[in-house]
Chains A and B, each alone.
Chain A
Amino acid sequence: MDMQPALFQYCLQLGDNNLILGHRLSEMCSRGPMLEEDIALTNFALDHIGQAEALLKYAGEIEGKGRSEDDLSYLRSVDAFSNWKLVEQPNTDFAYVIARQFMVDVYQCLLYPKLQKSTNAMIAGMAGRFLKESIYHQRHTSAWVHRLGLGTAESHRRIQQAFNNLWRYTPEILTAKPFETLLSAQGIAPDPEELAMDWTVQIIRVITKAGLRRPSDDFVESYTTHTEHLGPLLADMQYLQRTYPDAKW
């Protein structure tokens, strides 16, 4: 694998994760359990979409085919998206929103400091900007995991269930992809195995502190790149661009 396609793949995956997660969060607008939380989730959506914008813009530049961040967001189909299955999972309830978000926050809080030291100046610069946002998110979601785990019997049951059901999508986070390994050897991206290990340790630490059990690894790992949920999400998100291909917005 060449360096340029690997770098494209890498930025695309980071961008797609932010884009799809940001989209899911944006669906929560006017649906928060209290106004403060509604505003916080909208704020997170804004941060992730901002990160996606920067990453996809850069991905398009690396690719060199003239695709803008909007082209990449609005004119690709399910197959071409490289986000984790975790981030496309629906907002089943507030516990799912928090569990999903928390898993991504922990990942990004481990990833971005390492990317700040990337030999690629563009990536290092972006990571520095993103890190501040991710630290804030992680503080917020860790606190919620704690609160829900130790709050009431119902909140405990719900957050445990969210982790149990979302755990199926973690192998994808933990398995190194060829382009990650390649970029890691060049000092552009961090060592994916080390990242995966740190991530697991942190997640388990917070979950345990919140009085929750580590979810069981006893599931059949899905070998598809996406679940059924991404298609409808894209149909919604891409509706205007697809319906009026000549329009500028």
Chain B
Amino acid sequence: MEFQKKLHEFQQYIDAEEKIEPKDWMPDDYRLHNIRQISQHAHSEVIGMQPEGNWITRAPTLRAKKILLAKIQDEGGHGLYLYSAAETLGISRDEMIEQLHAGKAKYSSVFNYPTLNWADIGAIGWLVDGAAVTNQLSLRRTSFGPYSRAMLRICNEESFHQRQGYEIMLKMVKGTPDQHEMAQDALNRWWWPALMMFGPHDNQSSRTTKGMLWKIKRASNDELRQRFIDKTAPQAEFLGLKIPDPKLCWNEASGHYDTAEINWEEFNKVINGDGPCNRERMEHHKNVHAEGAWVREAAAAYATRKEV
């Protein structure tokens, strides 16, 4: 009875658009839902450093190298910030990393695709950060305070990343035939994975209902995906690139673009660890973590020594 009353008050609080803070009472499910979502988001920022990092050493100009370094540094910063937000819910970063390594915590499926040419760096900024920002703009109104504030802070940087990515694409399409080809090739490979970032259809997603009720999620997967497509399709046209979807066309009646169906079989495979680079990404993270153990131990030993 007591629980039902608390739950009722909790819901009223959320319905009034108040933010839940770490010390407030919350149902266990709410806590777990947030831990899962925020840690997944943090892991995505960190794992996402790998595909882009693949091109840092080959960035074609000093300016491009600086922009890419700064971008990846931002992503690492987002990771830190989000790990801290999740920690307010009573889980440590070590535990989150353990869950990642055990395959219990996920990260965005999009980072399991390879970066094969320089235009991929443009396409990631334009499409992947573009999709992320579409999602995160709506998450600024999420009900958990620390997560909402993290999104506020992160969104500006993600929009900036998107513009920088688009700028690379512009240079590539205006460049030599080789460069134009790279740009088209990158769009061909990143378009569908970017759309998959929004997750399964609303009627397929078990978590959507409660997430919406508790206002953790503020817009549905399909809504956000459509928003992204409507915004991005004209940009592709401006670049003179062809989106790899023969069914893509503007629907006057609905006021949206129509599209073909996502390859959900591929999506499920990638989510479950069988994408093109899942093994490489996890192995890289595990190896680096293991190789860094002696450094973390030294820092910890030194810290205790100083306290004495």
Contacts and interface: CB of A to CB of B under 8 A. Distances in A.
Interface of A: 19, 23, 26-27, 29-39, 42-43, 45-46, 49-50, 52-53, 56, 69-70, 73-74, 93-94, 146-148, 150-152, 154-155, 158, 236-237, 239-241, 244, 246-249
A53 B62 CA distance: 7
B171 to A, nearest CB: 6
B118 A240 contact: yes
B298 A147 contact: yes
A236 B53 CA distance: 13
Nearest to A43: B73
B61 interface: yes
- Dominant SS among interface residues on chain A: helix
Interface stretch (B33-41, B205-213, B219-227, B286-294): B286-294
Interface string B259-303: 000000000000000000000000010001001111111110110
B175 A248 contact: yes
Contact of A249 (B61, B76, B83): B61
B287 to A, nearest CB: 9
A36 B83 CA distance: 12
Contact of A29 (B56, B58, B63, B179): B56
B66 A249 contact: no
A50 B66 contact: yes
A34 to B, nearest CB: 6
B80 interface: yes
A39 B301 contact: no
B65 A49 contact: yes
B69 A244 contact: no
A30 B102 CA distance: 19
A79 B191 CA distance: 43
A56 to B, nearest CB: 8
A49 B57 CA distance: 12
Given A35-B79, A94-B295, A247-B175, 5 more contacts: A26-B65, A30-B72, A49-B66, A74-B61, A240-B60
Interface in B58-104: 58-66, 69-70, 72-73, 76-77, 79-80, 83
A151 B179 contact: no
B60 A52 contact: no
Given A39-B77, A46-B73, A247-B175, A32 B292 contact: yes
A240 B73 contact: no
A211 B291 CA distance: 24
11 contacts: A30-B284, A35-B76, A35-B79, A37-B292, A43-B73, A49-B65, A152-B298, A155-B301, A237-B58, A240-B118, A241-B60
Contacts of A39: 73, 76-77, 80
B132 interface: no
Interface string B143-165: 00000000000000000000000
A217 B298 CA distance: 28
B61 A70 contact: yes
Contacts of B73: 39, 42-43, 46
B294 A152 contact: yes
Task: Among A38, A94, A239, find the residue whose CB has the most chain B CB atoms closer than 10 A.
Answer: A38
B78 to A, nearest CB: 10
A244 B288 CA distance: 33
A96 to B, nearest CB: 12
Task: Among B57, B79, B175, find the residue whose CB has the most chain A CB atoms closer than 10 A.
Answer: B57
Nearest to A57: B62
A26 B65 CA distance: 9
Contacts of A237: 57-58
Contacts of A241: 60
Contacts of A50: 66
B167 to A, nearest CB: 11
Contact of B69 (A42, A150, A158): A42
Contacts of A36: 80
Interface string B41-59: 0000010011001001111
Contacts of B251: none
A73 B62 contact: yes
A97 to B, nearest CB: 10
Task: Among A73, A154, A241, find the residue whose CB has the most chain B CB atoms closer than 10 A.
Answer: A154
A248 B60 CA distance: 9
A154 B299 CA distance: 12
A236 B80 CA distance: 30
B176 interface: yes
B178 interface: yes
Given A39-B80, A249-B64, A31 B297 contact: no
B305 interface: yes
A42 B56 CA distance: 10
B272 to A, nearest CB: 23
Nearest to B62: A53
Nearest to A33: B292
A151 B296 CA distance: 10
B69 A155 contact: no
Given A34-B292, A34-B296, A148-B298, A29 B66 contact: no
